[in-house]
Amino acid sequence: MTQTDQRPLYREDAYLEQDEATVIAHTEEGGLILDRTIFYPQGGGQPGDSGSLTWGDRRLSIATTIKAADGASICVPAEAQPLPPIGTAVTQTLDWDRRYLHMRIHTALHLLSVVIPLPVTGGQITSEKGRLDFDMPDAPENKEELQAQLQALIDQDLVVSESWITDAELDANPGLVKTMSVQPPRGAGQVRLVRIGTAETQVDLQPCGGTHVARSAEIGQIRLGKIEKKGRRNRRVSLHLES
């Protein structure tokens, strides 16, 4: 099976909570692969989605979703139990509340990289908070001012959209890549860009494969947490959702 055999519905519509699919493969580790999937696979600092699969009177809890070597999403059951046979039609249901928190935090972190315009050396998203690590030798003088700037961007209710460019176009515009530790996936010929704001009023544009809210106001109120020193030059900035 190749990545092109699976349709990544999570990329087409991040708000899709339920959909039908067919099981097309099992993995040696006990996971399964669907022909079309609403489950985002762990990557880029964003956790894999959880949820469930149902068929007939059977239900299989999905603990997480990981990425196969070819990029396909693998659903990982919460516990060892018989899998729906290959060819079975199933209903896939997302743990929507958890995913939506990931979407809100992920978009907020993109905006955090705007108010702190420094190279990003790492990042992580959970359903409770997010964080970015920056190449930041000195701590910010005023964390409250950074928080106010970030909240002001969020409150503008900026549209969040995507576009695609070729690998060659990305190579010609290296400034689009903010992350030093994770490079955008290449080899498929195209790279997905996430834009915050319109082309005329653009606030941010960077390669990203994760899921995001449609408008920045969905993020709600945020709070910046600790700014921790991590090594000689790196500092970690934590972000929490307050609503």
Ordered structural domains, the chain, with CATH:
3-94 (2.40.30.130), 99-241 (3.30.980.10)
Of the candidates 194, 193, 195, 186, the one whose C-alpha atom is nearest the C-alpha of residue 167 is 186
Q: Are 115 and 150 in contact (CB under 8 A)?
A: yes
pLDDT of 20 > 70? The answer is yes
pLDDT of 1 > 60? The answer is no
Q: What is the pLDDT of residues 90-132, one digit of tens each?
A: 999 999 999 999 999 999 999 999 999 999 999 999 998 999 9
Mean pLDDT of the chain: 91
pLDDT of residue 126: 94
Helix (H) / strand (E) containing 16: none
pLDDT of 45 > 70? The answer is yes
Q: Are 8 and 162 in contact (CB under 8 A)?
A: no
Residue 69: DSSP 8-state: T
- CA–CA dist 178, 164 (Å, integer): 17
Query: 228 — phi, psi (to 5°)?
Result: -105, 140
Token digits of residue 185:
């996936």
pLDDT of residue 184: 57
| 3 band by pLDDT with thresholds 50, 70 and 90 | very low
Q: What is the pTM of this model?
A: 0.91
Q: What is the pLDDT of residues 57-89, one digit of tens each?
A: 999 999 999 999 888 999 999 998 899 999 999
Specify which residues 18 forms β-bridges with.
93
pLDDT of residue 2: 44
